Amino acid sequence: MTSIKAYVQSVIFYNESNNYAVVRVKLDQKKDERIVCVGYFPIPNKEELCLFTGEYVDHPSFGRQFKVESLEKILPDGAEAIIRYLSSSLFAGVGVKTAEKVYAALGDDCLNIIKDNPERIKEVNIKEELQSTIVRGIAASTRLDEAIKLFVGHGIQMKYLIKMDALYGKDLIPIVLENPYILIKDIDGLNFKTVDRVAKSLGITECDSRRLDALLIYISKKLCYQSQDTYISQNDLYRFASLEVGHLTEEDFLSSFHHLLLEGELIDEEGRIYYADLYQAEKGIAKYLKPYILKREGKLPETLIDQEISSIELQENIEYSWEQKETIKKCLNNGLSIITGGPGTGKTTVVNAIIKVYQALFKDDAVVLCAPTGRAAKRLSELSNQEATTIHRLLKWDLDTNKFAKNFDDPLFGGLLIIDEFSMVDCQLFYHLLDATYPFKKILLIGDDKQLPPVSPGDVLRDLLELQRIPTTELVQIHRQKEDSGIIPLCYDIRKGSLNKENLKKSDVHFYSCESRKVREMILTLVKEAVSEGLNQADIQVLAPMYAGTGGIDSLNDLLRDYFNPESSDKKEVSIERTTYRIGDKILQLKNQPDDNFYNGDIGWLEEIIEDGRTLKLLINFDDNLVQYVSGDFMNITHAYCISVHKSQGSEYSYVIMPILPEHRIMLKRKLIYTGVSRAKKRLSLIGDLLTFERGLKRVEQNVRKTSLKERMLEYLEG
Please say whether the dihedral angle defined by the alpha carbons of residues 663, 669, 672 and 676, taken in this order, is positive or negative: positive
Same domain as 138, residue 18: yes
**Alpha-carbon gap, residue 134 to 136, rounded angstroms:** 6
Closest by CA to 688, choosing from 543, 493, 489, 532, is 543
Same domain as 286, residue 396: yes
**Long-range contact list for 490-497, CB < 8 A, 24+ apart?**
490/677, 490/684, 491/342, 491/343, 491/344, 491/674, 491/677, 491/678, 492/342, 493/697, 494/450, 494/670, 494/673, 494/674, 494/677, 494/697, 495/342, 495/450, 495/674, 497/670, 497/697, 497/698, 497/700
Instruction: Answer yes or no: is 222 within a domain.
Output: yes
Same domain as 289, residue 250: no
Instruction: Answer yes or no: is 160 within a domain.
Output: no
177 CB contacts (<8 Å, ≥6 apart)?
150, 202
Same domain as 132, residue 192: no
**Alpha-carbon gap, residue 193 to 109, rounded angstroms:** 41
Q: What total number of domains does the chain contain? A: 4
CATH number of 383's domain: 3.40.50.300
pLDDT at 664: 93
**Alpha-carbon gap, residue 617 to 614, rounded angstroms:** 9
Instruction: Answer yes or no: is 164 within a domain.
Output: no
Same domain as 93, residue 209: no
Same domain as 122, residue 21: yes
Q: How many residues does the chain have?
A: 719
**Alpha-carbon gap, residue 295 to 328, rounded angstroms:** 17
Instruction: Answer yes or no: is 247 within a domain.
Output: yes
Domain span including residue 556: 487-572+580-688
Same domain as 549, residue 646: yes
Same domain as 210, residue 62: no
Instruction: Answer yes or no: is 340 within a domain.
Output: yes
CATH number of 48's domain: 2.40.50.140
Q: Give CA separation, 103 vs 91, 97, 98, 112, 207, in Å.
A: 15, 10, 9, 12, 52
pLDDT at 562: 94
Give the alpha-carbon dihedral of 263, 264, 266, 268, to 10 degrees.
110
Same domain as 32, residue 100: yes
Instruction: Assign 20 to helix, strand or coil.
Output: strand
Same domain as 322, residue 461: yes
pLDDT at 614: 46
Instruction: Answer yes or no: is 275 within a domain.
Output: no
Domain boundary among 111, 132, 151: 151
Instruction: Assign 491 to helix, strand or coil.
Output: helix
Q: DSSP of 425-453, one letter per residue?
A: --HHHHHHHHHHHTT-SEEEEEE-TTSPP
Closest by CA to 45, choosing from 65, 21, 29, 66, is 21
- Cα 214-220-222 angle, rounded to 5 deg: 95
Instruction: Answer yes or no: is 289 within a domain.
Output: yes
The single-letter code of the amino acid at 476 is V
Beta bridge partners of 582: 573
Instruction: Answer yes or no: is 405 within a domain.
Output: yes
For the chain, list residues with pLDDT below 50.
613-614
Q: Which DSSP letter does residue 42 get?
A: P
Same domain as 618, residue 548: yes
Same domain as 375, residue 324: yes
Determine which helix (DSSP H) or strand (DSSP E) holds 37, and give its type and residue range.
strand 34-40
Domain boundary among 270, 299, 330: 270
**Alpha-carbon gap, residue 73 to 50, rounded angstroms:** 4
pLDDT at 140: 74
